[in-house]
Amino acid sequence: MRRALWGVLLLLLAVLAAEADNTGAIKGYVKDPAGRIIPNANLVLRSTENGSVAKIATDANGFYQFLQLAPGKYEMTAEVPGFRKVDVKDVNLLLDQIVSYDMQLELGQVTQVVEVSGGVNALIEPERVSTGANLSPQSVRSLPITNRQFDSFWLLTPGATQAAQGSQSGSNSISTAGSRTGSMNQLVDGINNIDRKSVV
């Protein structure tokens, strides 16, 4: 009985760990025109793909964060009495990405809306120490890869190199940042692709 319970618990933890890899986050600060933080600002995040909505308020430091978000496109609004409502369109979130976006509110009535468009993307993630790459379906279709194997796209990741001819892991193996081939992980369509082959 006890073994079965431990087995179920370990399986549940493995599923939860796998799910954690398949999400992203959006975070930042809400500030006034002078750059001072605004606590208790009401933020609403809406997925433009499935319509799901998340609501939070900034903390005492004016900080907000939306965690465990599915990759996709979002719209975000911020409201505070005495300031114009800000409506941010086209927040693009990729797999395992943290988008940092500070919102600056202008003085005015809440009924007045400042619309920000043109897309918000994470260009630099200062809190990340890992190396990775996200490829859009458009990139996959248009890049000139002769064999059309998804492994070939791994070489587009910064620091990725193909193993030398005659190496122990095989010439088709790929290493990132000097690590062993078996020490890396790929997510294919958000699903872990671990231990594709046996590596010594």
Alpha-carbon distance of 142 to 69, in angstroms, equals 28
**pLDDT tens-digit series, residues 21-33:** 578 899 999 999 9
Pick 73 or 152 by higher pLDDT: 73
Average pLDDT, the chain: 75
Strand 187-188 to strand 191-192: parallel, antiparallel, or no bridges (unpaired)? antiparallel
**pLDDT tens-digit series, residues 45-78:** 999 999 999 999 999 999 999 999 998 899 999 9
pLDDT at 167: 61
What whole-number percentage of the chain has pLDDT above 90? 26
Pick 9 or 180 by higher pLDDT: 180
Helix H or strand E encompassing 82: none
Pick 59 or 108 by higher pLDDT: 59
**pLDDT tens-digit series, residues 80-90:** 998 989 899 88
Q: What pLDDT band is residue 19 in, cutting at 50, 70 and 90?
A: very low
Domain boundaries, given as residue ranges, for the chain: 23-116, 137-192
Give the CATH H-level superfamily of domain 23-116: Carboxypeptidase-like, regulatory domain (2.60.40.1120)
